[in-house]
Amino acid sequence: MSTDIVAQTKNALNFVKKLHTEISYLIKEMEGLLLEEDERFLILKQGGYQVTARTSNGLDSAGVDLWMPKDFTIFFCSEESIDSNASTTVTHPKENLKILFFQIKLIDNNINEPKLFYGFFDNIILKKEHLKKVEQMIGEFTYSGNKIFSNPPNIDFENAYWSFKGIFNQKNLLSIGSSKNLKQKIVNPALKLYRGA
C-alpha cells in the first residue's frame, strides 16, 4: 500500500512539474511571436524575467491551498513605451499606453477546465505615491482576477491603488496543442483586441 502512495505522489508531482514547464514554453512561444509584430512587444519585468503567480507559505488551510501556483500572469508592451535593462523594465503610465496581458488559470471555483485569458487594458491611473510603474500592477491580476474578469468582455477595475479599463476574451488552455494553434487561437485574437480599440 505505501509503495502505491509513494508512486502516486511522485507521479502527481511530476505531472505538476511537467504542466508548469509546458506553461513556460507556451509563454516563451508567445513572447517570440509578439516580438515579431510591428510593435515589438516585450515582456514587462518587475523583478526579472518571470511570470507573476500567487503563492503562499502559510500553514492555515487557505494558505496551504496556495502553496502550488495555479494562476500565471504576464504583461507585454510595445518596445517604444518601455525603459529597460537586462533584468527589469520600467513602464510609466501615460496617455494612450496600452498593455497586452495573458493570464493562465489552471483551477478556480469559476471555471471547469484550465483557461487562458487574454486582452488589453489602458486608462491606467496609479493612485498611490509609491506606485511608479505599470509593472507593479501585475500581481493584481492574480489576486483580483475574479473581479477584473467579472463582466466579460469588459474590464473596469478600480481599487485604492490603481484603476484601468480594457477588454478580454478567454479560451480553454487545453485546446492549444501547437504553435499554429497558439497563433490562431490566442495571439492573433489578442492583437485584434489590442489594435481594434
Query: Which tens digit of pLDDT belongs to each residue from 126-151?
Result: 999 888 899 999 989 988 999 999 99
User: Tell me, what's the pLDDT at 87?
Assistant: 85
Which residues of the chain carry a pLDDT beneath 70?
A: 1, 197
Q: How many CB atoms lie within 10 A of CB 98?
A: 19
Instruction: Determine phi and psi for 71, rounding to 5 degrees.
Output: -130, 140
First-to-final CA distance of the chain: 59
- The single residue listed with the C-alpha cell 518571470 is 50
User: Tell me, what's the pLDDT at 136?
Assistant: 92
Please list the residues that pair with 118 across neighbouring strands. 102, 169
Query: Do 124 and 166 meet the contact criterion of CB atoms below 8 Å apart?
Result: no
The pTM for the full model equals 0.92
User: Tell me, what's the pLDDT at 126?
Assistant: 92
User: Tell me, what's the pLDDT at 181?
Assistant: 92
User: Tell me, what's the pLDDT at 50?
Assistant: 85
CA dist., res. 182 & res. 189, Å (int):
10
Sign of CA dihedral 61, 62, 66, 67: negative
DSSP state string for 170-197: EEEGGG--SHHHHIIIIIHHHHHHHHH-
